[in-house]
């Protein structure tokens, strides 16, 4: 009976491991169920391997402290049972957990212990993994010669044992060292070797990562069309498997590529990278993107937006530092609990209580910073005066809607809206009343947008943009005129040349299938020309340019 249960447990664990990278939540649930099954049937070895499975799943979910805790618990079981393979796997995972927390000395200590236990053993797969992981520690510690030494040892084992996927990963890691050292031809050689192996299989994550690296080399070599080809291929692969973490770097690379061609498009990709970083809690990457954007704005003399992103960069760094301290304390608590199980020191109980209090304080501080960040996030995408979405938000969502519409070749309409004679209104009532006028016009347009679920915002000064898709020519005409008449009906009066007037708007629109236009900038230019004609024709006019399709 026990033997049958054991077989069933290992079958489930093997299945859970096979999906740990693609569906870590399901993998974790399966391993957790097996863990309880093992405890119930007093199967200690199976209990240990269930903990290893849970640790693997936590690694994929980026729950690194849980990964460390489960690995330590597994190690205790395997040491008690004198199971060598289990000890090696536990030590390897413990080393990886410390590595992810940038605790390189502790990572190296446990990985070397795993290597010593492996000795001259025949488990070439595990041996190559541990050697590669040691190489990773040396790489992150900027000890590149030592890193290459371990990578090459791992590579030889992988080639001799025909471990194709591990071989591809190590080729990529070696290429990364050469890239860091500006040895781009050698980097290209190793990235290409990795790519040639991965393209044969279905590992979309590693393939996407290597394509991104190839794109970076082409970018350095100023082969921008080839760089774009690799970057967009990488992004498609990573989006297909919903891997947002690795997609962040790709999006940033695409944004940098776009900066000199279409800044609106570039900032769409920067914003998308920041959203992915927030969703995956990749705060270090979020910090880097904020700094890149801030530096760009400073370089072009837009100091207002530069300051916004520098503030965001600073706040994210505060959050990172607080998280690091909290994680280190959590790790220390895990280590002490592991020690407590073996030695029962009363002193450790006291230390644990103090640590729990410190962790609680750190969590409270982190929550305060996160709330402050959330407020800043809203301000970044919101027009300070009117409270409606600002130009940054509009640029991001226009590009997002454009890409969505491009897949279906949908019909879209874009209106540029400008308040007529706004300077005369200001001259009549003063700037405070002028601000009130802008707020009332913005709220009027916002009411239409919210009802229809379109995209709308203030583009600058007294100018607004309104964008809708899945719309016919007649519906677009009706919408454009509705926008115009609703503003006129606000009856915002002012006096000019001894005559009483009301605020009106001129509207320039463009309608067509997505395929009719080069990009969003092309649409805006056409709409802007129609706006100019509306102004020229006497104001309080809506003009709509449509493609030959209509």
Whether 401 and 257 map to the same domain: the answer is no
- Alpha-carbon distance of 128 to 187, in angstroms, equals 21
Tokens 């570039």 locate to 266
Tokens of 91: 């030590």
Residue 129 included in any domain: no
Pairing of strands 505-513, 542-546: parallel
Q: Which of 359, 380, 401 is the last residue of a domain?
A: 380
Assess contact for 465 and 442: CB atoms under 8 A: no
Q: Between 84-100 and 44-60, two packed helices, what is the crossing angle to 10 degrees?
A: 20
Residue 526 included in any domain: yes
Whether 341 and 397 map to the same domain: the answer is no
Residue 182 included in any domain: no
Assess contact for 511 and 473: CB atoms under 8 A: yes
Number of structural domains, the chain? 2
Structural domain span for residue 459? 391-546
Whether 457 and 516 map to the same domain: the answer is yes
Residue 418 included in any domain: yes
As beta bridge partners, residue 546 has 511
Residue 179 included in any domain: no
Whether 464 and 339 map to the same domain: the answer is no
Q: Which of 357, 380, 403 is the last residue of a domain?
A: 380
Q: pLDDT 10s digit of each residue in the chain, 550 long?
A: 557 888 888 999 999 988 887 788 899 999 999 999 999 999 999 999 999 999 999 988 878 889 999 999 999 999 999 999 999 999 999 999 988 888 888 899 999 999 999 986 678 999 999 999 999 999 999 999 999 999 999 999 999 999 999 999 999 999 999 999 999 999 999 999 999 999 988 778 889 999 999 999 999 999 999 999 999 999 999 988 788 888 999 999 999 999 878 778 898 999 999 999 988 878 889 999 999 998 888 888 787 788 888 888 888 888 777 776 676 777 777 777 776 555 545 555 655 665 566 666 666 766 766 676 666 666 677 888 898 999 888 888 888 888 888 778 888 999 999 999 999 999 899 989 999 999 999 999 999 999 999 989 999 899 999 999 889 999 999 999 999 999 999 999 998 888 899 999 999 999 998 888 888 888 999 999 999 999 999 999 999 998 544 4
Whether 372 and 434 map to the same domain: the answer is no
CATH number of the domain bearing residue 509:
3.30.70.270
CA dihedral 17, 23, 26, 31 (to 10 degrees): 20
Whether 472 and 331 map to the same domain: the answer is no
DSSP type of residue 389:
B
Whether 533 and 397 map to the same domain: the answer is yes
Whether 338 and 477 map to the same domain: the answer is no
Name the residue among 279, 306, 272 with its Cα closest to residue 291.
306
Whether 536 and 416 map to the same domain: the answer is yes
Residue 211 included in any domain: no
Whether 247 and 359 map to the same domain: the answer is yes
pTM given for the model: 0.70
Residue 7 included in any domain: no
Residue 516 included in any domain: yes
Whether 408 and 315 map to the same domain: the answer is no
What is the CB neighbour count within 10 angstroms for residue 309? 22
Q: Which of 351, 380, 409 is the last residue of a domain?
A: 380
Cβ contacts of residue 103 below 8 Å, gap of 6+?
328, 331
């Amino acid at each position: 009976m026990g033997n049958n249960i054991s077989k069933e447990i290992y079958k489930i664990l093997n299945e859970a491991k096979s999906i740990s990278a693609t569906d870590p939540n399901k993998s974790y649930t399966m391993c957790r169920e097996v863990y309880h099954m093992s405890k119930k049937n007093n199967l200690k070895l199976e209990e240990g391997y269930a903990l290893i499975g849970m640790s693997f799943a936590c690694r994929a979910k980026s729950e690194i402290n849980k990964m460390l805790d489960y690995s330590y618990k597994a190690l205790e079981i395997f040491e008690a049972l004198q199971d060598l393979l289990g000890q090696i796997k536990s030590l390897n995972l413990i080393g990886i957990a410390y590595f992810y927390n940038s605790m390189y000395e502790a990572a190296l200590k446990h990985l070397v212990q795993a290597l010593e236990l492996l000795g001259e053993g025949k488990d070439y797969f595990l041996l190559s993994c541990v050697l590669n992981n040691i190489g990773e520690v040396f790489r992150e510690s900027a000890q590149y010669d030592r890193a290459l030494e371990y990578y090459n040892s791992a590579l030889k084992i992988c080639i001799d044992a025909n471990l194709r996927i591990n071989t591809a990963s190590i080729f990529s890691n070696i290429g990364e060292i050469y890239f860091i050292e500006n040895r781009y031809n050698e980097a290209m050689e190793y990235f290409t070797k990795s790519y040639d192996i991965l393209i044969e299989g279905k590992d979309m994550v590693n393939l996407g990562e290597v394509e991104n690296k190839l794109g970076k080399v082409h970018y350095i070599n100023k082969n921008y069309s080839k760089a774009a080809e690799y970057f967009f291929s990488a992004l498609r692969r990573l989006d297909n498997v919903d891997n947002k973490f690795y997609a962040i770097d790709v999006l940033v690379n695409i944004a940098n590529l776009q900066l000199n061609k279409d800044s609106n498009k570039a900032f769409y990709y920067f914003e998308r990278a920041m959203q992915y970083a927030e969703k995956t809690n990749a705060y270090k990457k979020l910090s880097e993107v904020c700094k890149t954007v801030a530096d760009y704005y400073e370089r072009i003399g837009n100091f207002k937006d530069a300051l916004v992103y520098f503030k965001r960069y600073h706040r994210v760094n505060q959050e990172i530092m607080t998280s690091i301290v909290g994680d280190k304390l959590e790790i220390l608590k895990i280590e002490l609990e592991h020690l407590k199980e073996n030695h029962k020191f009363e002193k450790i109980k006291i230390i644990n209580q103090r640590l729990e209090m410190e962790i609680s304080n750190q969590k409270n501080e982190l929550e305060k910073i996160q709330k402050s960040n959330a407020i800043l996030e809203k301000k970044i995408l919101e027009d300070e005066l009117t409270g409606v979405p600002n130009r940054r938000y509009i640029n991001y969502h226009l590009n997002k809607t454009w890409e969505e519409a491009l897949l279906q070749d949908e019909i879209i309409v874009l209106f540029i809206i400008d308040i007529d004679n706004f300077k005369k209104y200001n001259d009549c009532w003063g700037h405070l009343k002028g601000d009130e006028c802008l707020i009332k016009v913005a709220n009027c347009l916002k009411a239409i947008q919210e009802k229809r679920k379109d995209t709308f915002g203030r583009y600058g000064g007294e100018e607004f943009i309104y964008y809708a898709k899945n719309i016919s020519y007649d519906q677009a005409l009706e919408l454009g005129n509705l926008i115009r008449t609703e503003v006129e009906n606000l009856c915002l009066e002012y006096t000019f040349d001894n005559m009483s007037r009301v605020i009106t708007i001129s509207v320039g629109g463009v309608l067509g299938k997505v395929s009719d236009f080069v990009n969003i900038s092309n649409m805006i230019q056409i709409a802007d020309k129609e706006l100019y004609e509306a102004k020229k024709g006497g104001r309080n006019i809506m003009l709509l340019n449509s493609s030959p399709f209509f």
